[in-house]
Chain A
Amino acid sequence: MNPLLKPFPSSITAPPDADCPQCRAAQYKGGAPVIEVADAKVSFNGVPVLRGVNLTIPKGEIVAVIGPNGCGKTTLLRSLLGLQRLDAGTIKLFGETDIHSVLHRVGYVPQKLALDRSFALSVREFLALRLPSTRHWFWKGPRSTDTVLAPIVAELAIEKLLPKPLAQLSGGQLQRVLIAFSLLHQPQLLLLDEPTAGVDTPGEQGFYELIGKIHKQHGLTVVLVSHDLSMVYKHATWVYALNGVVCCEGTPEEVMNAESLKQAYGIHVSPYHHHHHVH
């Protein structure tokens, strides 16, 4: 018998087909959950914002939570961080309902900082605020701080930004610094709020490539909360469309069809395809 034609042993099952939606869904649902949201309800002044959100995010995925403004994205994110109390339902992070006890395993990248130019906090000082080993930055010279920060600073290529005041960075530079900050304590879950809101269009592509690289290198679970439809198509492995409740979920290809988007956004929209021009 030709050795190249050896049959598969019967105990080995065929690997899941990445293009098959059912296989992908089974693979997604079978992962160990990092975030579990069950029937989460929040209302403000009697107006319901979250009307019973259910979602489970397994380990190692890049998940996008999309929806129009006012659909409850920010409320859901704040609830995940323990900043917003639920009226009903439960949220578990890493299997724990006491969110504060597991926040050390979470990295959070906000949309922006509320800093103005009157605060001279430099990038180096900002990064030093994250770790106990660099918290005495005021009394020590920059050299001791830089030694601790060096690996993450090199990974995010922000060496030249270290002496700059944080309030003077461009949108793209600030996002890199915020990601570096959120990775310093080696989290397992990274939550990003509208990550490309202040980034110009050419910078967006590089930003998502960076997220993909970090996701692989650090073995992170990444959750992107955004109203930006174009981002979802290329970069997320799973998508939840939110509009008070989870309207639909699935692979980007499944969710980004007109009917799903109509459910989420309440209007007829077409998925936006970003075309790259070769110069």
Chain B
Amino acid sequence: MFTESFMVRALAAALMLAPLSALLGVFVTARRMAFFSDTIAHGALAGIALGMWLGMTDMTLPMVLFSLAIAAIILWLKEKTNLLTDTIMALLLSGSVAFGIVILSLQQGSRGEIHAYLFGDILAVDTQDIWLAAALLIIVAFALFRFLSPMALITANEEMAHVCGIRVRRFNYLFVLVLTLTVAVTIRLLGIILVTSLLVIPAATGRNLSRNLRQQIISSILVGLLGGFSGVLISYRLDVPCGPAIVLACIALFILSLAVDRFFLNRKQEVTA
């Protein structure tokens, strides 16, 4: 299977984006930002629709720009209004999907392409996406490990982080920027509907297998790698869409981790207690 170039590209993308999402996912789940990432992913649909309408061939730019715009609007509304965060997200998620569908319905013959963006497509991953994923992985992983302590402290309590001299607002904006870029790039592989699962499931699986943050980060990255690899393999062997295959592989690992937590880690804890 690795003689076919599209498979090599898909696998390379999965092995870079899955651990990156898993690493970010540790903080996304702890900061209860899963719905936020889902909203910016769905915002990408409107970007894609606009890109198609404008006759663009590469959808990366409109996708990323629209997702960033949605993220900025969420932050602005949270700061400037009394609206509940959930209300803001639901408003923007449904609004951007509705806007995207209206734009798409005005065009002819875009159904197949949209299907690939909704559910992910191995064939849609091109060389540019690989370079983008590689650059994102290197920059984000370096930055996150470099600023792991401030990030962990902000996640624990923003006011304490402020008292410790950390520029909380700046870190929060940077985190949202990085998350938005990662989500937008991962959409190619997993699709709009499933992209959040790669942020949430490996981090939740890693949590089941760990007793501290260090273990959680390492195990989440490993689960992301394993889920990404097995998903691409399943997708190729069974000729099924790549996104759902990766998600199902991650869910299988999550169920396995529940069993490990229940039967091994808890028992070990009882013995030490």
Task: List A residues at the B interface (Cβ < 8 Å).
Answer: 78, 81-83, 100, 103-104, 106-108, 110, 113-122, 124-126, 128-130, 135, 137-138, 163, 165-166, 181-182
Contacts and interface: CB of A to CB of B under 8 A. Distances in A.
Given A119-B207, A125-B152, A126-B152, 14 more contacts: A82-B162, A83-B159, A83-B162, A108-B160, A116-B30, A116-B32, A118-B204, A119-B30, A120-B215, A121-B152, A125-B213, A129-B156, A163-B211, A181-B160
B60 interface: no
Nearest to B165: A103
Interface of B: 26, 29-30, 32, 145, 148-149, 152-153, 155-157, 159-160, 162-165, 203-204, 207, 210-217
Given A103-B165, A116-B30, A137-B149, A122 B159 contact: no
Nearest to A118: B29
A112 B207 CA distance: 22
B153 A129 contact: yes
A22 B132 CA distance: 72
A166 B156 contact: yes
Contacts of B159: 78, 81, 83, 108, 110
Given A81-B163, A103-B163, A120-B212, A129 B152 contact: yes
Nearest to B164: A130
B30 A138 contact: no
A82 B158 CA distance: 13
A118 B213 CA distance: 10
For A103, A110, A118, A138, which residue has the most chain B Cβ atoms within 10 angstroms?
A118
A110 B157 contact: yes
A163 B153 CA distance: 17
B214 A125 contact: yes
18 contacts: A81-B159, A103-B165, A110-B157, A113-B156, A113-B157, A114-B156, A115-B156, A118-B30, A118-B207, A121-B152, A122-B213, A125-B213, A126-B152, A128-B149, A137-B214, A138-B145, A163-B212, A182-B160
For A106, A119, A138, which residue has the most chain B Cβ atoms within 10 angstroms?
A119
A121 B213 contact: yes
Contacts of A116: 30, 32
A79 to B, nearest CB: 12
A224 B32 CA distance: 30
B212 A122 contact: yes
A108 B157 CA distance: 11
A84 to B, nearest CB: 11
A86 B184 CA distance: 40
A121 to B, nearest CB: 5
Nearest to B214: A138
Contacts of B212: 120-122, 124-125, 163, 165
Nearest to A187: B163
A117 B212 CA distance: 11
A110 B207 CA distance: 25
